[in-house]
Amino acid sequence: MFGPVMSSSVALSLRCAASGCQGIRRSIATVISGNKTSKLVRNRLKEEVDKMTSQFSGFRPGLVVLQVGDRDDSNLYISSKLRAAAEIGIDAKHVRLPNTATEDEVLRSIMSINENPSVHGLIVQLPLDSVNHIDSELITNSVSPEKDVDGLSCINAGKLSRGDLSNCFIPCTPNGCMELIRQTGVSVAGKHAVVIGRSKIVGAPMHDLLLWNHATVTTCHSKTPDLPGQVGRADILVVGAGRAEMVRGDWLKDGAVVIDCGINHVPDETKAGGKRVVGDVHYASANQRAGFITPVPGGVGPMTVAMLMENTVQSAQRFLLRR
């Protein structure tokens, strides 16, 4: 979609000239910037929205982010979604229900947003933060498939799993990962891709997306024996395991494309807040082996937000075509 966006000086591959290690590739990976790529996506979307607005007398794509409760991490994610939407010209609203809301109340709120014609995208921020038992699966499936810009309903997930990619909403994190892989110029078709994690939001849809882009895909999870062995066969590795720095550099195939979806907080007394954010990949060692790598922060995270905006604009375009 765009030309490569990566740090210029790091596309460096050195042959170790010292005796004893001739022929061993000592490389520093090319860093794939999610910050820069997401900025390009957001700029393009702003132009598309400006066009829609002038062509359809003030029309704007509408997005609702529904939150139950008040988790600090969700509040942060939501504010970056609202900021991106405002910048692009998407009319985004944050609807917050208290953590005492019942499943029925959440469902009623979703039904009313489903029926609102000025809303083209609806996401329910996960995880739900409730004192009551609320079935997240029931909640995500009650979002109208036509407004399900998170791509988490069974309808959209089913279409993706069958390869009906142009007729569904693709979940934002895997969609962002694909865009970052595209940035490397490495073609997915015919490659061996390994996905770590099988969550509905990252691992499972990532598997489908790579498969329908013609990779041979292995999906690993907590019961997979010999994870380092599986990782070592990956030309393309996508990690959404939720475990800080789990994947070590010496597991990697030389030159692999490494996409890290992890966001983990680890103690670090040298930092102001006493902690820092790391991915699921041990960056310092992986950087020595990978061909391309995403940083954390500044890799997949900003792409998730950009892809939510992309899905919302796409949903609004489909709405205009149906009118």
Candidate residues 124, 193, 259, 290; the one interacting with ligand GUN per rule CB under 6 A: 124
Site string for ligand GUN, 269-308 (x = CB under 6 A): -----------------------------------x----
Q: Which among 304, 315, 320, 321 has a CA at the least distance from the CA of 76?
A: 304
DSSP three-state, residue 133:
coil
- The helix or strand, by DSSP H or E, that contains position 194, with its residue range, turns out to be strand 192-196
Q: Number of residues in contact with ligand GUN, rule: CB under 6 A?
A: 10
- The helix or strand, by DSSP H or E, that contains position 65, with its residue range, turns out to be strand 62-68
The strand ranges marked E within 221-319 are 236-239, 257-260, 264-267, 275-278, 292-293
Candidate residues 172, 236, 239, 290; the one interacting with ligand GUN per rule CB under 6 A: 172
Q: Near ligand GUN by CB under 6 A, which window of 113-121, 122-130, 175-183, 191-199?
A: 122-130
Q: Which among 286, 237, 284, 245 has a CA at the least distance from the CA of 264?
A: 245
Candidate residues 38, 109, 125, 287; the one interacting with ligand GUN per rule CB under 6 A: 125
**Nearest distance in Å: CB 39, ligand GUN:** 19
173 exposed, middle or buried (CB, 10 Å; 0-12, 13-18, 19+)? buried
**Nearest distance in Å: CB 79, ligand GUN:** 13
Task: Write out the binding residues for ligand GUN, residues 214-273 only, by CB under 6 A.
Answer: none
Query: In whole angstroms, how far apart are CA 26 and each of 14, 248, 255, 257?
Result: 5, 16, 10, 16
Tell me the C-alpha distance between 111 and 309, whole Å.
22
**Candidate list 36, 51, 81, 253, residue with the active-site label:** 81
Give the number of other CB atoms < 10 A from CB of residue 22. 9
**Nearest distance in Å: CB 78, ligand GUN:** 9
- For residue 142, state whether it binds ligand GUN (rule: CB under 6 A): no
- For residue 126, state whether it binds ligand GUN (rule: CB under 6 A): yes
Q: Near ligand GUN by CB under 6 A, which window of 38-46, 110-118, 124-132, 209-217?
A: 124-132
- For residue 64, state whether it binds ligand GUN (rule: CB under 6 A): no
Would strands 216-220 and 121-124 be described as parallel, antiparallel, or unpaired? unpaired
- For residue 110, state whether it binds ligand GUN (rule: CB under 6 A): no
- For residue 33, state whether it binds ligand GUN (rule: CB under 6 A): no
Would strands 275-278 and 264-267 be described as parallel, antiparallel, or unpaired? antiparallel
Candidate residues 91, 148, 150, 310; the one interacting with ligand GUN per rule CB under 6 A: 150
Nearer to ligand GUN, 153 or 173 (CB): 173
DSSP three-state, residue 16:
coil
SS3 content of the chain, % helix, strand, coil (to 5): 40, 20, 40
Nearer to ligand GUN, 198 or 253 (CB): 198
Does 81 participate in catalysis according to the annotation? Answer: yes
- Catalytic positions: 81
Question: What are the residues binding ligand GUN (CB under 6 A)?
Answer: 77, 123-126, 150, 172-173, 201, 304
